[in-house]
Structure 1
Amino acid sequence: MIRETGAPNQTVVDYFLLEGLLYTAEHPRLFFLLFLLIYSITVTGNLLILITVGSDPHLCSPMYHFLGHLSLLDACLSTVTAPKAMAGLLTLDGKAISLQGCAVQLYCFHFLASAECFLYTAMAYDRYLAICRPLRYPLAMNRRRCAGLAGMTWTAGAVHSALHTGLTFRLLYCGPRRIAYFFCDIPPVLKLACADTTINELVMLASIGIVAAGCLILIVISYAFIAAAVLRIRTAAGRKRAFSTCTSHLTVVLLYYLPPVCIYLQPRSSGAGVGAPAVFYTIVTPMLNPFIYTLRNAEVKQALRRLLGQGARDCPAGSPLR
């Protein structure tokens, strides 16, 4: 499992061992069942939302188009981390991951997480146009523009992840192989490198910081304009309807942004204990998103009833976005 290099007394690690989460070793089967339940709900819920949005003609607006992309990202993001974490709870072999497998997991994770970050920004822009520029909205957010924004989120996520994966695995890993985490992420992997990681950490802080902070600033600006526009609505019913289409998005944005701040702003403090925030936004939040959107959205609930054959009520006339 360890390969000799040309340099004397130096070896290259071919695999790592994922130590998992703090306290899970005491009751591994219990945590396995818990993670299995969460993962099953996550995949089922997000795929159900994706099928509903894709098949129901009443949910053809840009907001639901972006919601479909979010559901796909959430299902994939949870799949990248949860199954490997569950395997590590059952057997020692389940904790092992090859160097190439670690690189693939790290790339997929940051690809999906970055794309989701950009997608939240696109969703905020969509809400801004729908509420603050209702007359321009059909033209400004037409089908082509909507598809272009969605495609840009996936492309930007792929490029952003490729940068970090390339920088992380250009380093030599020749010593310790135990990753104090439940999946391959940049901070815990860099701690095992047999080289100076200062440049990697600076690039990580600058790149991820700029991307996350930039997206968050754009979201905050969008919702500042939205709040001002909603407060100008004269009727209480109109204000409630406008706020209801935005609070779901704001809720998932907060759930998504807060945990990574605890991780990537302190790259040297990674460890099994720091994995708790990561569990929240990689496993728990993807499970919560379908409930957050369906419980607060009458149109999605009606579409689910139609899909499941529990009702056939039509959506209200007019756009559900305004």
Structure 2
Amino acid sequence: MPSTRYKQTSIPDEYTCKLVQDYHVGSVIDYGNADAERTAKYNNQLQKWAAETRLKIPLFISADLEYGSIQLVTDGTDFPRQMAIGATRVPGAAEQVAKINAIESKAVGFNWNFSPLADVNTNPSNPVIGVRSFGEKTDLVSQMTVAQIKGYQHNGLLATAKHFPGHGDTSFDSHLGLAAVTYDRKTLDEIHLPPFKAAIAAGVDSIMTAHVIINAIDPKLPATLSKKVLTGLLRKQMGFNGIIVTDSMSMNAIDKHWGAGQAAIMAINAGADIVMASGSYKHQLETYNALYHALKSGELTEKGLMNH
């Protein structure tokens, strides 16, 4: 999943066109800042390019629209962050926000939203989750997460519970470096996993991974790269059969330690279905070529991919 960035007057650039038409990527994540009309034209152009390929498979066009289409669409509706919504203690309010967000986002060409956050923000010093979380109470986070999943998915937008298996107790930003949490398995099971279990029970379409080492499961690798976490815990123990998408692989927590190509292979082997390559065009090609050559060499196998 490469990133593509639009501005007030731009259409997708030649690099994005090549990724869709020559490399046959099946999804993109949008970044940018434009009004609804320009955003719709941009996303429609992406789909037009996909329709001109041999298989003509439409794209997943995704974005981080956690507090409304306003995050990318300048004339979209602006909602409070999740913590403020959680403070209402009204799941119906959370669902209504997601419904309006879904209607607006679909209208301009998005079909997949990387929201809601199911992280339980138990660390008040958390520098990256904070007000993006519904709060520090597990039951509340579970209720609000389910409400927003319903609001998105009942209105035609894929929802994503993130960041599995929980990014709420970190004191380090994974955009800047690799974080680890040292709590025991009991804490993981009782505090951080229930919102994800509730999301799965509610039929969430996708779950995004956390670039965080969960010592209770795998003390060596971050969840994004860990087969123990993605296949062992999420697939087998928790029974999730939807899409597993990585968080951005250009974040320092991953790229700085493993590099884009090798990390992509590790993530797929761990159980991820989609690798988010939101770095430079060079970074995106490195990711694509690493996966392609790993499949050709047998390091990745079609049988293994089908088992996802």
Bigger fraction of residues in helix: 1
User: If the length of structure 1 is used for normalisation, what is the TM-score?
Assistant: 0.26
Q: Which has the larger radius of gyration?
A: 1
Bigger fraction of residues in strand: 2
